[in-house]
Structure 1
Amino acid sequence: MDSGILWRVGFLAGVVIGATLLLVLLLRWQPHAELVPADTPPVPSTDQGAEMTLYAANGSQLTKTAATAKTATLPVTDPIVRITENLYEGTRLDGTSFPEGKRNLRFPKDALVRKSLLDACFPDAAVGSVFPASGAAAGGETVTIRGTNFTPGSTVAFGGTAATNVVVVDEKTITCRTPAKAAGAVAVQVTTDAGPFSKANAFTYA
């Protein structure tokens, strides 16, 4: 083989081997850099374990007292109540007596209901009219009171004095006898399960 060719082959082989060794040395001695995610959260100053405490918006650690101070108590206007025994609502067909002769289960024992739902079973009453609208100051006048949502056991008062012989005929009718009062117009008040309800100047004593 021609010596010139051999020289060229040896030269090329030496260049390849030298470049390879240089690349290995560069890779071996390159400084190692550790990549840290940019969103890594700060490490708390104390070890809180698996259950972490709370931190304020400014990053300060909060105690339970400090965290509670950042809350506001909301008023409970319609709490949930538990029914402790079966409660029934009355149902009545036309012609049956008052109060109701038939009852259906409305709230079963241990049911959880809004108090407003329970209160809705006792709607506000209203005093509509009193007949006759006047009577003697000595009292004893039999009158009929018309209105709405009267309940069994309702009481009646004329000008703050209790009436006698009160009979709740039905939800819309009550009969009673007037008490003695001084001459003048007085309010008539009917107190039902839902509370007292009155009409001003509904009866006049003469």
Structure 2
Amino acid sequence: MRASDKVKSAPISFVPAITLAVICLVCALLLAGTYELTRDAISEQEAQAAKNRMIAIFPDGNQFKEVRIEEDLKAQLISDGCACEEIHEALDSDGNRMGYIIVSRSFGYAGDIIVTSGFLPDGSIVHVIVTAPDETPKLGKEVEEKYFTDRFSGVSAGDHAENCVDMISGATISSKAVCTAFNKAVETFRTLSEKGVIGS
């Protein structure tokens, strides 16, 4: 092959790479566009799911008011390792306080496990709901089942879950993650009660 032929054919070798780059760019743009189109809908679904969990804990709740925490207290909770994502005060139709809902999370076997804990004003646990979307079906996801979450009912804010809740056999990591998240909620309730932010 003559040198001139090599020069003429050289640019052709770049065609597959350029084609692949264009395809990747188009795919990235499509994914970004899909995310933008569905972001609001996903956020609304997540917000509704969170509200449904709160209603499941306090069925007679008419309003769930977010509890505001001062920045220095937030810093203390973070320092103590018990920072939670959300804290709501549950009110009935007459505006009377029913209790509090604290949302916390911990990493399980395959992803984050979210624990929504309901407290009476005196610190007693009303109900706990576990959301573990990434855990292994029929094993780690067992932590979502009522027979496990019912074990937390009646526990007080003075107790730690490991002392009064039996783990699920074969799903120890997931069970411990639930207990860790639950303990964060307990410590948060205790600290905020001591500071007079929440409580009876």
Query: Per the shorter chain, which TM-score range?
Result: under 0.3
* Structure number with higher relative contact order (C-alpha < 8 Å, ≥ 6 residues apart): 2
TM-score for the superposition, normalised by structure 2: 0.21
| Bigger proportion of residues as strand | 1
